[in-house]
Chain A
Amino acid sequence: MTDFLINWIAGIPVTAAPYALAALGLIISERSGILNLSAEGLMLVGAMTGVASCIVLGGHPLIALVIAMVASSVVSLLFAMLTVVLRINQVIAGLAIVFFCQGLTGLIGNLAGWQNHPIAGLDKWTIGPLSEIPGIGKILFIQDPVVYLAIPIFYLVNRVLRFSMVGLNLRAVGENPAAADAAGVSVALYRIAAIVAGSALVGLAGAYISVVGVKLWFTGMVGGRGWIAVALVIFARWAPWPALGGALLFGCIEAVIPRIAAAGIRVPQYLMLMLPYLATIAVMVWAGATQRGGAGEPGALGQPHVREERR
């Protein structure tokens, strides 16, 4: 039983990290007032680029992760162009980007023959003698570098959003773009920067799945995790730390499903496979019931900004 628990808990960060990183990326862009549904698509871009750069360029997998972040940011410029410059409906633009990326990654990846091509990927770090502490060692000190990096990334993003001038401007742009504009803050620039920076994290989440998690790329391998990240943002009320908590919750559920089966515990398996989605609904209901007056939601979320336009 203790083995079961330790193995389960030690497996949570790997399943939780993609949700956490993607949700954090979305928070950055949504705090600037851009409703961002493109996560699923940009994760696919990150997943494919990460494996592709491992296969084509070789080198350290961490470099592949950086390349995936850049690729995802580049594709997100299209989304920024649609929503900020052309001011297209953000829901539709987000969906369009998802479908575009699904097709694009499938086409490029298969033409290049990257599908089902195993890579060495990023291994776990064993932190010296600490990893030999029974139980805790396996849980805390044998994880991959991205999991360790995620904590400072969360700290940093939270810090910048809440306590820096850049963060204040970004939030102002998301709350009341007209006021921010009047105060001399460039709404378009902040929004584009937020989309690009956020998308880098979303791309990292996708590359994490392929390069660190599965060590293989397969068409459409993100499998709906981007949508769960979108729901997590709402659950977390657009705040980084609660998003990390939510991601861990989903990580817990996803990690326990195969373990229950492997331990031979008889639970209806379709119920188990349903759990992440049941949890999503439960989380949304809870968020809806407890958030009065859209607490936490950026005031101008989903609204394009046109200077001097009356609302």
Chain B
Amino acid sequence: MTLRPKILLTSLAMALGCAASAYAAGFTLPAPAKIAFLYFAEKNDGGWTQAFDEARPKIEKSLGQQMPYVEKVPEVAGQIRPAAERFIQRGYNVIIGTAFGYSDTFKELSEKYPKVAFLNASGTTNGPNLESFYGRTYESQYLCGMVAGAVSKTGKLGFVAAHPIGPVNWTINAYELGAQKMNPNATVTVIFTGAWNDPVKERAAAQALADQGIDVIGQHVDTPTPQIVAQERGIYGTGHHRDLREFAPKATLCSSAWTWDAFLAPELKKIAAGNWQPSPYGAFPGIKDGGTDIACCNAVVAKDVVAKVMAERKAIVGGKQVYAGPLKDTAGTVRVAEGAVLDDAGLWKMDWFVPGVITQK
């Protein structure tokens, strides 16, 4: 077997380093890492995919190599497979996917190509050479909720969301919990559009919220439409995916923005170094490890509010839990007991809302 000296050295170092688990069965690439991305949408979609494309140059710099990408790979096995295999045939051995719907195909591919490493954002499948990853978006949305709660005069916040699934519900609940920290009477009225990007429905939703006297609109959809409506109506909003001040500089107070380079650069270095141990249940980084972070803040947010939010951010990085008990749902059932913290399984299947969230079910 012809191992390159560098790999050999690093694996030696690893073997020496973890003497306790001397024979750890990590994953080691047979050749230097060559990394490629499969994008779910266009690279300039303004949200989810653009966040990856903006992280890519930073990751390239950090790893010292160019990383090619394919855009608009839909969540269909027949389209994912050829896109990934073309890269693999050209010698790429680390494939990064960016969609929930890639999960099963990536699992298949990881079994078919055991010498290639696979990473997939918002995926659900994992394996010896496959790791799914997603951010603890509730941490940054909690901070955005704090800003919204502090800025709102009416105490009535709105939220335009896509689908009532765990990863969306946890941002809504965190938003309300954050708002309550600044204004105990704050409520969040949620409208689900039933689509990740349907700007027509998002506009209608944001306008309906504004008509109801809501003065800050949060969001977990892919387009900046709710922010644009907020700006038109002279109210405020908080963004998701990226810093949406780009679209609504007056209205957008802050955004919950992905910081993928902070997670992917070190993770890819680990893969390149060899003996990589993918997390068996997927990577789930928070603010500390490069999931999302708050892009703060518009000038209208008072200095002392920013200071409070930043202090809270520091506490979260230091280990403070957003979903620490006691927490009840709208019906009064205890969901997280006093002294307990909601575990990851509980997060992913979250189908309840904290009091103060007004929503259809």
Contacts and interface: CB of A to CB of B under 8 A. Distances in A.
A219 B214 CA distance: 29
Given A15-B204, A219-B42, A269-B194, A259 B211 contact: yes
Contact of B205 (A218, A262, A267): A262
Contacts of A15: 204
A227 to B, nearest CB: 14
A152 to B, nearest CB: 26
A262 B199 contact: no
Contacts of B358: 264
A11 interface: yes
A212 B339 CA distance: 52
Size bracket of the A interface: 35 or more
B90 interface: no
B231 to A, nearest CB: 9
Given A11-B204, A213-B200, A216-B199, A258 B191 contact: yes
Q: Which residue among A3, A254, A262 has the maximum number of chain B CB atoms within 10 Å of its CB?
A: A262
A115 B197 CA distance: 12
B285 interface: no
A106 B42 CA distance: 9
A60 to B, nearest CB: 19
Given A115-B44, A269-B192, A270-B194, A216 B228 contact: yes
B42 A115 contact: yes
A3 B213 CA distance: 11
11 contacts: A15-B204, A116-B46, A118-B247, A214-B200, A223-B195, A259-B208, A260-B360, A261-B208, A261-B360, A264-B189, A269-B164
A215 interface: yes
Contacts of A215: 228
Interface of B: 41-42, 44-47, 71-72, 158, 164, 189-195, 197-201, 203-205, 207-209, 211-212, 214, 223-225, 228, 247-248, 358-361
Interface of A: 3, 7, 11, 15, 106, 110, 113, 115-116, 118, 209, 213-216, 218-219, 221, 223, 254-255, 257-270, 272-273
Contact of A261 (B72, B199, B359): B359
A214 B225 contact: yes
Nearest to B195: A223
A269 B361 contact: yes
A266 B247 contact: no
Given A7-B211, A214-B225, A221 B199 contact: yes
B243 to A, nearest CB: 14
The 7 closest A-B pairs by CB, nearest first: A116-B46, A262-B208, A269-B360, A258-B208, A258-B205, A261-B191, A273-B194
Given A262-B191, A264-B358, A216 B223 contact: yes
Nearest to A270: B194
Contact of A262 (B158, B195, B223): B158
A217 to B, nearest CB: 9
A296 to B, nearest CB: 30
Q: Which residue among B41, B158, B194 has the maximum number of chain A CB atoms within 10 Å of its CB?
A: B194
B203 to A, nearest CB: 5
A266 B361 contact: yes
A115 B45 contact: yes
A27 B203 CA distance: 29
Given A261-B189, A262-B211, A269-B194, 10 more contacts: A115-B45, A214-B199, A216-B224, A216-B228, A219-B42, A223-B198, A223-B201, A260-B360, A270-B194, A273-B192
B189 A262 contact: yes
A109 B60 CA distance: 27
